[in-house]
Amino acid sequence: MARLFLSVDMVGSTEFKARFTGQGAEAWLGIFKAFFTSFPLMVAGQIGHAFLEDDATPAISVWKVMGDEVVFVCEPGGAEELTTILTSVLKTMALYEERHFQQLPLRLKGTAWLAEFDDQNIEIEIPELSSGSGEHVDFIGPDIDLGFRIAKFARPGVMVVSLDVLEAVLGAENAATAAFYLMGREALKGVMFGRSYPIVWMLEAGGAMRFLPWEVEQDPVLAKATASEPAGAGELAATIEDMRLYLKKVHGRERPPVRLG
Closest C-alpha among 175, 32, 150, 6 to residue 90: 6
> Which pLDDT belongs to residue 72?
97
pLDDT at 131: 62
Contact 134, 126 (CB under 8 A): no
Give CA–CA dist 95/47, Å, rounded.
Answer: 13
Tell me if 83 sits within 8 A of 178, measured CB to CB.
Answer: yes
Q: What are the counts of helices (DSSP H) followed by strands (DSSP E) for the chain?
A: 8, 9
How far apart are the C-alpha atoms of 112 and 151, rounded to whole Å? 8
SS3 52: coil
Q: What is the pLDDT along the chain (261 residues), one digit of tens a residue?
A: 899 999 999 999 988 888 887 677 777 888 999 999 999 999 999 999 999 998 889 999 999 998 899 999 999 999 999 999 999 999 999 999 999 999 999 999 999 999 999 878 999 887 766 566 667 788 999 999 999 999 999 999 999 999 999 999 999 999 999 999 999 999 998 888 889 999 999 999 998 888 999 999 999 999 989 989 999 999 999 999 999 999 999 999 899 999 998
Longest dimension (CA), the chain: 58
Is residue 115 within 8 A of residue 141, CB to CB? The reply is yes
pLDDT of residue 24: 72
* pLDDT at site 134: 66
Q: What is the pTM of this model?
A: 0.93
Residue 113 CB neighbour total at 10 angstroms:
25
Q: What separation, in Å, do the N-terminal and C-terminal C-alpha atoms of the chain show?
A: 8
